[in-house]
Every structure is written in structure tokens, then in C-alpha cells.
Amino acid sequence: MSEHTPTGAAPQEPTGSEAARLDQGHVQGTGGVPEQFANPGLPPHVLRNADLDEKAAKRAERQVALLFLVSILGTVLFLVAYFMVDVDTQVWVPITNEMSLSNLLLGLGLAFSLLGIGLGAVHWAKTIMPDAETVEMRHPMRSTDEDRTGFVDTMLEGGEAAQLTRRPLIKMTFGAAMGLFAVPLLVQIGGSLGPLPKNDLSVTFWDKSENGRSNQLRLHRDPEDTPIRPADVTIGSVFHIQPAGLLELDDDKLSEMSKTSVLLMRLDPKQFQDTDRGRKARDWGYQGIVAYSKVCTHVGCPVGLYEQTTHHLLCPCHQSTFDVTNDCEVIFGPAGRPLPQLKITVDSKGYLIADQPFQEPVGPSFWERG
């Protein structure tokens, strides 16, 4: 007797078509395999109340429609909160204490929108949609041509069985709930990107003007914020420059600093190339002093490396190289265009000033500039 055999029970050898019971312990099989397993079949189908009583079906229809209506109201609540509730308005909420009323309503609106659709679909499937069990015999993976052509008919029959045509209230509320549910997603994508940049990408602090006339802003050392004279700029030296008055800004100071940063250096006027670009670079400078945007035209890294012997500016991020003697033409690297030049001169007191703002957008290209 096996140690696993219950007391008083004799071990039995299974036949080739019988399964061994769990209480038989270790069983030595005979190697027999049944020719065919018995079909376990399906339990008898139980009809639901909605299948037997039209009043119950109508009641279920109204319940499903009510859940879809909850989803619609949740979507409307989300939109109202998004456009009409100030994000700074605070409200007391149990457990979390103070929180933004806008965030609370947005969360509740989106939650009810999702919950209404989910519960409505589940209740619709459990009470009205067909629930008859079916058995499909295995067949080759590819359907026959007849099955393929009959797919559309099957889908139409399914829609008819789901009583979409007979239950217009469900069809209308479900369609409205699903259609409105996409609106919060689109609103977040469109509205959360912030205001359009307008011309902010093309205009810098160097464009500052009063009474319609452009100010010729002085070039100030960064970070000392002191003016600079031509005599201070010796051949081989490099100065980091910001426009005068920039540090007095209260708003968008960092954004403006990132666009207005300039590198100032001096070359022998004879070292500029005898090309259109080289002559333009020399003419826009002052006695060999030239000023170029510090923002790389590749991805906006700071171009801060200057080779005096070759007169090259290098971007440390991706090694874009610009030739100062030829108007900062790109001679190596991924940058797509030269660094913009700032035309400079001197004022009545002998300080370097911007004769005009940048004549092209600084930094990387954007959708309005390829």
C-alpha cells in the first residue's frame, strides 16, 4: 500500500480511458491513451430578465443611457473647469487639505467621463447584448473566401443583435459620450502648449525701441554689465556681451539673455577674406572688431570657444565650426547656417553700440525658417 493511499482504500489501476484520482497516490499507468476525449459540453443557457421581459430591457436601456449621460456631464465639467476656473483658486478637501480647485474639477470631470463610458459599456454587455455561449471548431488560420465575404454580414448581424437599431436612446448617448470624450484630450494638447510665440523667435532685446525708433544699445560686458570701448578689445581677446539694460528686466530675463548673448572679438582688418561675406563681416564691424551671436544655429548650444590662430569659433556640443574671417561661415559640423552678425559702431562717448539689431533670427531653425 502506498503511503499516500487513504486508510481502508485499496489502490486501483486506472484503465486506458480513465483519469487517475487525486486520492490514489502513486499510480503505475498502463500506457493506454483514449482514442477520443469526451466533449464536456456547455452548461444550459440561462435567459436574463431583459431577454424575457421588455420592461426589464427598457429599464436596462435607461440605466445604460444614464451612465453615458454621467460621462457626458463629466466631459462638460472638465471643459468648464479648464476654461473658466482660475488655477490659483484654492479649496479645502478632506485628507489632502488645500488644493487647486481647477485641478480637482479637472480630475473629477475626467474620472466621471471615463467611469460613465466604462460602466455603461459593461452594463450594456451584461443586460442587453447577446450572451449565448457558442463553440467554434478549430480550422485553418486563414478563413475561407466565403467566411471573408461574410464578415461584413456578421458585423451587421452583431449590431442588430446588440439592438443598436432598436435602442436609439443608447445609440445616441453612447455616440455622444464617445465623441465628447476625445474633446478633453484635444483641449489639453492644444491649450497646454501655451500662447503662440508670434515673433518672439525673431526678435531680441537688441530690437528694443522707443517712440518707433530703434535704440542703439551699448554693448556691456557679461556679467560685469559695464560698457566697453574699442581700445579694450585687443587682437586675440574675446568678450561675452549683453545689451545695456537687459539685467534691469523683471520678466523673461533668462529668455532674453539666451537670445541676445554675443561674442566680441578683434581681428586685423586685412585678415577678412576677400569675398562678399568676408567684406560684409568687416564692414559690419568696427576697426576689425566683430560681434556674432553666441547661440549655435544647430541646436542652440553656446558657442564659446575661439581659436585665435585660425579665427574659428567652435561649438563644444557637436563640434560645429564657424570661420570668423568669412562671416562665420560653417566649415565643419552639423550647423545649417552661419552665426548671425550684430552690426556695431561707437557712440559719441566712444563706447561700442549696436548700429542695428540682428537682421535674422538667432539660434536653431524653426518651422517658419527651414
- CA 310 – CA 204 distance, rounded (Å): 30
Mean predicted lDDT score pLDDT of the chain:
85
- CA 155 – CA 325 distance, rounded (Å): 72
- CA 65 – CA 293 distance, rounded (Å): 62
- CA 243 – CA 339 distance, rounded (Å): 18
**Amino acid making up residue 231:** A
Helical axes 101-127 vs 168-191, angle rounded to 10°:
150
328, with CB counted inside 10 A (0-12, 13-18, 19+), is buried
Per-residue pLDDT tens digits for 343-368:
999 999 999 999 999 999 999 987 66
Per-residue pLDDT tens digits for 249-266:
887 888 888 899 999 999
Nearest to 293 by CA among 326, 254, 341: 341
Q: Is the pLDDT of residue 7 over 60?
A: no
Nearest to 244 by CA among 256, 232, 231, 230: 256
Question: Higher-confidence residue: 230 or 196?
Answer: 230
Q: Is the pLDDT of residue 213 over 50?
A: no
- CA 353 – CA 350 distance, rounded (Å): 9
**Amino acid making up residue 202:** S
Per-residue pLDDT tens digits for 59-84:
999 999 999 999 999 999 999 999 99
Task: Quote the percentage of the chain above a pLDDT of 70.
Answer: 85
Q: Is the pLDDT of residue 202 over 50?
A: yes
User: Chain centroid to CA 209: how far?
Assistant: 37
